Chain A
């Protein structure tokens, strides 16, 4: 609490003592504001800016700096500062195990993002076609999936996929696949990641589908009528009308999904702690293992930096456009 209290204390007690004169808040210099009016915006911004610089800005710099140090428990307890240049990077990049994990993370992210964005789009389009009652049923069902906390959902999936008593194996046996009696879904890294991927898609799709549906119903009706009069097929209508209208939204949700899915940790750790035998370990899990479990803080910081660089690489195009458009819109 202490630190929050500190920032709160820096908040100007909300300007109940504000001057009675109605200075125009948009600052149009019709009447010159008092000194208080001029500092007021800075006072209002101060707590947020202090918090952001302290808790985000400083760690960002610090992770870069730490990645060039040897910082294990020994150095930490002795307060030693040992600069090692690019040694940490050389160590992780020279480790074939790291490349396996990095590649696995990128492939896993790409598959999960592609699956959830496509599923989200299909469901959004589907929602326009169905009866209102069916639509509401679908929306409520998605809301249920969306609302379940990550670790609760992970627990439920583990129960569904349980080797012995899981409903999935029971069902598969019941419909005739006897081989699934006692089948373990968590015996290899790939199938473990498959279950985790399904879980992530299941949780991600509701937001994507709702957002894209909002976009779909925003497309003017007359465009469809015009396409209908021209005798366009369903696919042609999609290509000519729906897709151009949805594309900005699609780019945005893809970008958000990349950000979210690349750094997934809770589901992977709670499912099998990156196992079996590290088979479902991804970069965030690797970072946690190196940094927190083994106290190799320098190496873990280097992993973090590589993670951010990889993510930046994946989202580069979109980031560039986003920053460009924001500069105009500020």
Chain B
């Protein structure tokens, strides 16, 4: 591990910075009253970010593709979630699909 002191400073700066990013929204919103239409856009923006997060986490690894096992697992989980299967099954099925495929050599 590199210099522990520098790592500690890095962790603390990341903590303060992340908290600032998180509280920025609530602080801004109490200063300015947003029109109802903007509120909907804000909610849509959050959903767009979350969807992009799901897609990149499921399909990519670093700068490349994530292979087959992980996307397949997420796909199975997604289909089950659409069919309103209990949440625990969604999670277990996603992990089990990815693990099962890897077990038989599909990465």
> A and B: real partners?
no
